[in-house]
């Protein structure tokens, strides 16, 4: 008697400039480890075959072709919200979706950037003070980080960005979404003084990446009473984290958010519990 073939999964990532994403191998390896063949495709709108396709068309095609889920990245996280059948309350309040599960022809939106960062923060820095936090960077992933910090109980969140208007807009959107006045937004002037007076600081800029070396502020303002988080994960040990640790700070590196957003997305896509430790090992094995 033939055994029933294992359930397979077809997943994808929609966005721009996806060649360096570690998400596809994370999902493929975890699916296979659980006995479920998993194929994860990069659907990059900068490629010749997709450059004229709209997000709506790609979403419709994924439904027609039997995809089980899609990750959504820049520049489509906000646009996709209105196209979905149901959206999780967290993603609704944020107005941004990075994970779309497809079940029985219906689409369900989530934001696992938020939940992924929150899980890493709670796991690695469970007892740090969150009275006052400075977030440097208001673009891209900064939206999810700010929301996660507010949800984690930060009382005063200062959002600083080279574009003061963008920082102010994110603060206003966050306050509206949470029904509080937790956030303020402004430019980079005086950011070191603000950090010196805060409990923690989060770098939500690309500074620290291999292609964007450096730090987003002068780290001489750090002392052992601070905790420091960096969303950059290539390299894992950024200049910011190295200098923060040298100053005696507790730190949170970017791999925790990167792994946990994939863990949460895998569970939404498949309905199966993911092994976070195994997915972390896969992440590190990718170099």
Q: Where are the domains of the chain?
A: 9-110+257-285, 114-253
Percent of the chain with pLDDT over 70: 99
**Residue 253 marked ligand-binding:** no
**Residue 186 marked ligand-binding:** no
Q: Report which of 134, 129, 150, 132 is spatially closest to residue 201, judged by C-alpha positions.
A: 134
pLDDT of res. 107 = 98
d(CA 186, CA 166): 8
For the chain, what's the residue count? 287
pLDDT tens-digit profile of 3-42? 567 899 999 999 999 998 999 999 999 999 999 999 999 9
Calculate mean pLDDT across residues 92-110: 96
**Residue 12 marked ligand-binding:** no
- Residue 89: pLDDT over 80: yes
Does the annotation count 51 as an active-site position?
no
Calculate mean pLDDT across residues 239-247: 98
d(CA 9, CA 257): 23
**Which H or E run includes 93?**
helix 89-94
- Residue 1: pLDDT over 60: no
pLDDT of res. 4 = 65
Q: Report which of 19, 16, 67 is spatially closest to residue 44, judged by C-alpha positions.
A: 16
Calculate mean pLDDT across residues 213-222: 98
User: Which of the listed CATH numbers 3.40.50.10800, 3.40.50.150, 3.40.50.10860, 3.40.50.300 matches domain 9-110+257-285?
Assistant: 3.40.50.10860
One of 77, 130, 268, 280 is an active-site residue; which one?
77
d(CA 112, CA 73): 11
CATH code of the domain occupying 114-253: 3.40.50.720
CB 184 within 8 A of CB 171: yes
- Identify the three-state secondary structure at position 254: coil
Q: Establish whether domains 9-110+257-285 and 114-253 are of one fold.
A: yes
Band of pLDDT at residue 260, cut at 50, 70 and 90? very high
Calculate mean pLDDT across residues 63-79: 96
CB 262 within 8 A of CB 26: yes
Give the ranges where the chain is alpha helix by DSSP (H): 23-33, 55-64, 89-94, 112-124, 142-151, 164-178, 191-196, 239-246, 255-270, 276-285
pLDDT of res. 188 = 96
pLDDT of res. 18 = 93
pLDDT tens-digit profile of 132-185? 999 999 987 899 999 999 999 999 999 999 999 999 999 999 999 999 999 999
C-alpha triplet 50, 91, 94: angle, nearest 5°: 100
**Residue 141 marked ligand-binding:** yes
- Residue 2: pLDDT over 60: no
- Identify the three-state secondary structure at position 186: strand
pLDDT of res. 6 = 84
d(CA 277, CA 258): 13
**Residue 129 marked ligand-binding:** no
In the block, tokens 């993911």 appear at 274
- CB burial of residue 127 (10 Å; 0-12, 13-18, 19+): exposed
């Amino acid at each position: 008697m033939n055994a029933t073939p294992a359930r397979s999964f077809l997943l994808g990532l929609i966005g721009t400039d996806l060649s360096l994403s570690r998400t596809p191998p994370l999902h493929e390896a975890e699916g296979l480890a659980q006995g479920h063949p998993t194929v994860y495709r990069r659907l990059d709108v900068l490629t010749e075959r997709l450059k004229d396709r709209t997000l709506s068309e790609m979403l419709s095609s994924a439904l027609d072709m039997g995809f089980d889920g899609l990750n959504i990245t820049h520049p489509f996280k906000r646009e996709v919200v209105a196209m979905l059948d149901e959206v999780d309350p967290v993603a609704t309040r944020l107005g941004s979706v990075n994970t779309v599960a497809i079940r029985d022809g219906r689409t369900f939106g989530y934001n696992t950037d938020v939940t992924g960062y929150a899980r890493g923060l709670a796991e690695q820095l469970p007892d740090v003070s969150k009275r006052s936090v400075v977030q440097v960077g208001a673009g891209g992933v900064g939206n999810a980080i700010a929301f996660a910090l507010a949800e984690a109980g930060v009382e005063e969140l200062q959002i600083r960005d080279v574009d003061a208007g963008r920082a102010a807009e994110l603060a206003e959107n966050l306050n509206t979404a949470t029904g509080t006045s937790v956030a303020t937004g402004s430019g980079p002037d005086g950011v070191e003084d603000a950090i010196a007076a805060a409990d923690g600081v989060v770098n939500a800029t690309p500074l620290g990446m291999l292609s964007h070396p450096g730090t987003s502020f002068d780290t001489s303002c750090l002392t052992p009473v601070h905790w420091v988080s960096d969303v950059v994960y290539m390299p894992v040990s950024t200049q910011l984290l190295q200098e923060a640790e040298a100053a005696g700070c507790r730190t949170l590196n970017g791999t925790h958010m990167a792994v946990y957003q994939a863990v949460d997305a895998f569970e939404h896509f498949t309905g199966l519990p993911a092994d976070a430790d195994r997915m972390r090992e896969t992440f590190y094995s990718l170099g």
